[in-house]
Structure 1
Amino acid sequence: MKEPMKETGGLWDVLKGGGIPPRIASMLGAPSAQQIAFVRSLTKGQRKPETLHVPLTELKTAVFDLETTGFHYHYGDEILSFGAIKVDGEQITDDVYYSLCKPACSVPEQIVELTGITPEMVEDAPPLLQALRDFMGFVDDRVLIAHGSAHDKAFLDVALWKTTKAHLGHRVLDTMMIARKLEPERNISSLDDWLEVYEIPLLRRHHALEDSKMTAGLWCVIISRLKECGVITLGDLYSYLSKN
């Protein structure tokens, strides 16, 4: 797990000069205000046009997964844990991030059974802003990848808005969408099914970090399959996905 990031005095000075009014920043206190400023800085300018020309075999990505208290953020469900692993091109690195997160709502029994995350486990977990700051610091400006990304992206965006009034600015790729585009005849969606198709070992499911690792394996296989279709760069991939 990546070591927690340390506070820096410079961010507080930057914060007072813009982003959040000094009066509000002083009410929040320096540490929280610094966290907000840091997270907001990482949500801006991530969709760099030059990234479209980078070959997928060289693209720096962060494959991530979230566990949540349910599937409906608009009804109050929240993030329970963050998991991510960095992938450099087709090389899965050993650089990972994992953290539990203390939700404001209760953890339903069915979620405990699914994820193994109990109310006791998250009682002393970092609050949302801290876990989110460390997660955003870990992924930095990498392209984000998730399986069935709509769920994770929505919860991440809601968490960002709730804590910092910022929106996710990163590019997000969906391994489920790409795999189904490559092999529409299979008519499958779940991570379990795609792992079986590509003979990727299924280890521990519904754990944010372990799911991220398995999705990273799927992403690397997908890169090879895309090359066979003449899809070389990130821009090529967007064009490929847009075709009927």
Structure 2
Amino acid sequence: MGNYPVVVLDFETTGLSPDQGDRVIEVGAVLIENNRITDRFQSLMNPGMRINSFIENYTGITNDMLKDAPPVPEVMKEFASFLGDHHLVAHNASFDQRFLDAELRRVRRRRVRDFACSMLISRRVYPEAPNHRLESLVLHKKIKSTGAFHRALADAEMTGHLWVSMIRDLKETYRIRNVPFHLMLRLSKVARKGVPNFLEKFALEEG
């Protein structure tokens, strides 16, 4: 399998867009090394604004919980250290990437690695799945679950297990010895009908 370390992360936020002033309210992340979780990072954070009732109900995170949480900049500085220069993974990565980049800019840090999107990759690895939401894939692949969807660390852990599952299944299906990160990035952009040819060619080139 791919033995390079990756950080799988998930944010809960006040809304859908940092460009519209939305902020992060929780981060959860796991470090995967040698295809197992070796470290975790989780924190609520005070965004400096009240969250609406929809977000409270969706995440289970309340304004009372955030009142005494550390401020976003304090947590993001710590989280930047946790990220280091590891490859990054998220489910629906464009969402998390926008928030990560926006919050890192606020503390004068920047992302140094690309994101792989486990949702885009899962559409190519598991085309038979009923859909490619994280909850559905966890059921489809019988992935270990806490049942606590829409909390950051639980979602990050389940996405991490999905990532390892996809690497394992690519190896077994296409007889690929190693699944490098750049292959996963490229796979997320391949037209779905072209996936078998793409992976068979990679396996041949790998020798």
1:61·1:89 contact (CA, 8 Å) conserved in 2? no
Partner of 1:154: 98
In structure 2, the CA distance between the partners of 1:123 and 1:91, relative to structure 1 (3 Å rule), is: same
CA distance in 1, matches of 2:189, 2:151: 32
- Superposition CA RMSD, Å: 1.7
In structure 2, the CA distance between the partners of 1:149 and 1:239, relative to structure 1 (3 Å rule), is closer
CA contact 1:64–1:85 (8 Å) conserved in 2: yes
Of 191-200 and 225-234, more deviation after overlay is shown by: 225-234
Q: CA deviation at 1:223?
A: 0.8
The unaligned stretches of length 5 or more in structure 1 are 1-55
Task: Identify the residue that residue 120 of structure 2 maps to in structure 1.
Answer: 177
1:196 is matched with 139
Following superposition of structure 1 onto structure 2, how do residues 45-84 of structure 1 map, counting pairs within 5 Å? Answer: 56-84=1-29
| 1:105-153 CA-partner distances (Å, limit 9, x unpaired) | 2111111111121112111211121100111111212111111111111
Tell me if structure 1 keeps the 8 A contact 2:118–2:163: yes
- Distance of 1:205 and 1:237 partners within structure 2: 25
User: 2:170 matched to 1:226?
Assistant: yes
Q: What does residue 22 of structure 1 align with?
A: none
Cα deviation, 1:22-47, whole Å, max 9, x if unaligned, reads xxxxxxxxxxxxxxxxxxxxxxxxxx
**Superposition misfits of 4+ residues, deviation over 6 angstroms:** none
Q: TM-score, normalised by structure 1?
A: 0.71
Q: Secondary structure at the match of 1:184?
A: coil
Cα drift, residue 187 of structure 1? 5.8
Percentage of matched positions with identical amino acids: 29
Distance 2:166 2:140 in 1: 12
Aligned AA for 2:5? K
Match of 1:98 in 2: 42
2:73–2:106 contact (8 Å) kept in structure 1: no
2:190 equivalent to 1:243 = yes
Change (3 A) 1:185 1:199: closer
State the match for 1:38 in structure 2: none
What is the one-letter code of the residue matched to 1:78?
R
Unaligned runs of 5+ in 2: 192-207
Alignment-derived partner of residue 158 in structure 2: 214
Distance 1:219 1:234 in 2: 11
1:10 counterpart residue number: none
Instruction: After TM superposition, give the deviation of residue 216 of structure 1 in Å.
Output: 1.0
Q: Which residue of 2 aligns with 1:143?
A: 87
- Number of matched pairs: 187
Name the structure 1 match of 2:32.
87
Q: CA deviation at 1:185?
A: 4.4
User: TM-score normalized by structure 2?
Assistant: 0.83
